[in-house]
């Protein structure tokens, strides 16, 4: 088995695939890339058993075969090469030799048959969407997903497809984000929970991409196909909580304020908040928003006044500043709206501008009880 490939072209593809490989694998074979050669088409795969991602590359060859090559060693070697053709050839003593313009490098390889096979999806349903739209949907929601091993359903992003539109939801029981696209629809209704790791990888690969992504899914797995790359991953098993039930419907108190001003103020004031609760207090009266925090243990205290547009009754409400900062940071609009009903009910944060047609973002943040 022998093939010739451009060093930078191979490195670019391998760096994408390398994102899925764990640092401490229980199965040593998972520390490798699987190279499958079929004439001038080379398929490279990487896996962590839950997710398998593979890319097709064009190479110069007229042979067939498959080998597993140590990922870390290969990546470290390729990073040092300037752009040049590299020749990979299998030698007798279970080594694969890489020949460059300047020298030869031999690596031990394992048989390709030892590598776990990617799952083939049985009777999948499919939806097609633009790569950048999917990356944006992931970026808008994934930060709100939880890390609790005891509640695995909350550690992923909930994909809810229907003939009316697509909805992506993430929550950790303290904050919730619902991102909807009404301009894209699925052929039939479907719901599944995607784990975080493959989503983070998709987000980095697809950001700014004009490629169409085909999403195929059944009850246990999902497959994303785009631009010579395929990713198959196992879904999180379980039923997602009824998130619609926690979004308050009647919110008579509505605050409109400039996002960056609000964010900077919350950031500054939160430095003085209690390091355990991160509690900040919003006091709204007329057209004035008063943001304050104090840490009684250390006599630290801060207070800022901002002008805002407010309709509703005067009220005081407490929030965890970390959650509020995360949400405001994730939005890209100039102005946000915060809708509230009562100090013990969730506040709803929505952008008032900067959205595409058919794009809806709803962020929910749970209040914290104020010590009066």
Same domain, 81 and 148: no
Q: 330 in helix, strand or coil? A: helix
CB of 304 within 8 A of CB of 290?
yes
Query: 117, 75, 61, 68: which is closest to 94 by C-alpha?
Result: 68
CB atoms within 10 A of CB 236: 19
Domain match, 133 and 63 both: no
pLDDT > 90: what percent of the chain?
Answer: 88
Q: Got the DSSP string for 144-174?
A: G----TT-GGGGEEEEEE-SS-EEEEEE-SS
Structure tokens at 214: 């085909």
Pair 240, 259 in one domain: no
Q: Examine residue 119 and state whether it is found in any structural domain, yes or no.
A: no
How far, in Å, CA of 101 to CA of 106, rounded?
Answer: 15
Domain assignment present for residue 120? The answer is: no
Per-residue pLDDT tens over the stretch 329-348? 999 999 999 999 999 999 99
Task: Answer with the one of 244, 275, 303 that is the final residue of a domain.
Answer: 244
Judgement on whether residues 272 and 331 belong to the same structural domain of the protein: yes
Is residue 17 located within the same domain as residue 40? yes
Residue 67 half-sphere exposure, CB side, CA atoms within 13 Å?
20
- Residue 372 pLDDT class (50, 70, 90 cuts): low
Q: Tell me, what's the pLDDT at 192?
A: 96
Average pLDDT over residues 146-174: 94
Rounded average pLDDT over 353-371: 89
Q: Is residue 301 part of a domain?
A: yes
Using left for φ > 0, alpha for ψ between -120 and 50, and beta otherwise, residue 370 falls in: beta
Residue 319 lies in a domain: yes
Q: Is 35 domain-assigned?
A: yes
Average pLDDT over residues 124-153: 93
Q: Are residues 240 and 298 in the same domain?
A: no
Q: Is the pLDDT of residue 160 over 70?
A: yes
Q: Is 103:186 a contact under the CB 8 Å cutoff?
A: no
pLDDT tens by residue, 204-234: 999 888 999 999 999 999 999 999 999 999 9
Residues 356, 256 within the same domain: yes
pLDDT (mean) for 236-260: 94
List CB contacts of 246: < 8 A, sequence separation 6 or more.
176, 346, 364
pLDDT at 353 over 80: yes
44-58 mean pLDDT: 96
Nearest-angstrom CA–CA distance, 56 and 36: 9
Give the integer Cα–Cα distance in Å for 170 and 158: 6
How do residues 165-189 score in pLDDT, each as one tens digit? Answer: 999 999 999 999 999 999 988 888 9
Give the residue from 66, 75, 61 showing the smallest Cα distance to 20.
75
Q: Taking phi first (over 0 means left), then psi (-120 to 50 degrees means alpha), and beta for anything else, what does residue 163 get? A: alpha
Q: Is residue 263 part of a domain?
A: yes
Residue with tokens 């631009």: 227
* 343 and 267 assigned to the same domain: yes
Return the SS3 of 198.
helix
Residue 145 domain-assigned? yes
Q: Cα–Cα–Cα angle for 152, 155, 160, nearest 5°?
A: 100
How many structural domains is the chain composed of? 3
Q: Which pLDDT band, with edges at 50, 70 and 90, does 297 fall under?
A: confident
Is residue 371 over pLDDT 90? no
The verdict on 42 and 102 lying in the same domain is yes
Please give the span between the terminal C-alpha atoms of the chain, in angstroms, as a whole number: 75
18: domain CATH number? 3.10.150.10
Do 142 and 164 lie in one domain? The reply is: yes
47 confidence band (pLDDT: 50, 70, 90): very high
Domain co-membership, 229 together with 277: no
Nearest residue to 370 via CA among 252, 312, 290: 290
Residue where a domain stops, chosen among 244, 275, 296: 244
Average pLDDT for the chain: 94
Domain shared by 146 and 235, yes or no: yes
Residue 348: give the domain boundaries. 249-368
Asked whether residue 294 is domain-assigned, the answer is yes
SS3 content of the chain, % helix, strand, coil (to 5): 25, 45, 35
């Amino acid at each position: 088995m022998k093939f010739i490939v451009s060093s930078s072209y191979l490195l670019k593809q391998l760096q994408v695939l390398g994102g899925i490989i764990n640092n401490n694998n229980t199965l040593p074979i998972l520390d490798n890339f699987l190279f499958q050669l079929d004439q001038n088409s080379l398929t490279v795969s990487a896996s962590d058993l839950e997710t398998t991602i593979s890319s097709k590359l064009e190479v110069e060859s007229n042979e067939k075969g498959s080998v597993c090559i140590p990922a870390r060693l290969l990546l470290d070697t390729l990073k040092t090469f300037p752009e040049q053709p590299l020749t990979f050839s299998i030698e007798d003593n279970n080594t694969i030799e890489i020949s460059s313009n300047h020298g030869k490098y031999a690596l031990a390889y394992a048989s390709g048959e030892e590598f776990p096979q990617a799952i083939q999806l049985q009777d999948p349903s499919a939806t097609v969407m633009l790569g950048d739209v999917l990356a944006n949907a992931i970026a808008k929601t994934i930060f709100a997903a939880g890390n609790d091993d005891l509640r695995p359903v909350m550690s992923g992003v909930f994909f809810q497809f229907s003939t009316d539109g697509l909805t992506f939801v993430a929550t950790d029981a303290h904050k919730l984000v619902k991102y909807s696209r009404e301009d894209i629809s699925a052929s039939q209704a479907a719901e599944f929970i995607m784990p975080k790791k493959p989503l983070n990888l998709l987000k980095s690969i697809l950001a700014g991409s004009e490629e169409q992504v085909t999403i195929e899914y059944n009850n246990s797995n999902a497959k994303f196909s785009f631009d010579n790359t395929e990713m198959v991953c196992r879904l999180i098993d379980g039923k997602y909580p009824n998130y619609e039930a926690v979004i308050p419907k009647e919110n008579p108190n509505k605050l409109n304020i400039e996002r960056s001003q609000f964010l900077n103020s919350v950031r500054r004031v939160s430095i003085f908040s209690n390091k355990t609760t991160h509690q900040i207090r919003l006091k709204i009266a007329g057209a004035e928003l008063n943001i304050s925090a104090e840490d009684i243990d250390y006599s630290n205290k801060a207070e800022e006044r901002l002008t805002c547009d407010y309709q509703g009754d005067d009220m005081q409400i407490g929030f965890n500043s970390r959650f509020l900062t995360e949400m405001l940071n994730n939005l890209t609009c100039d102005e946000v709206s915060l809708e509230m009903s009562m100090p013990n009910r969730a506040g709803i944060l929505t952008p008032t501008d900067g959205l595409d047609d058919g794009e809806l973002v709803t962020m929910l943040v749970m209040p914290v009880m104020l010590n009066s």
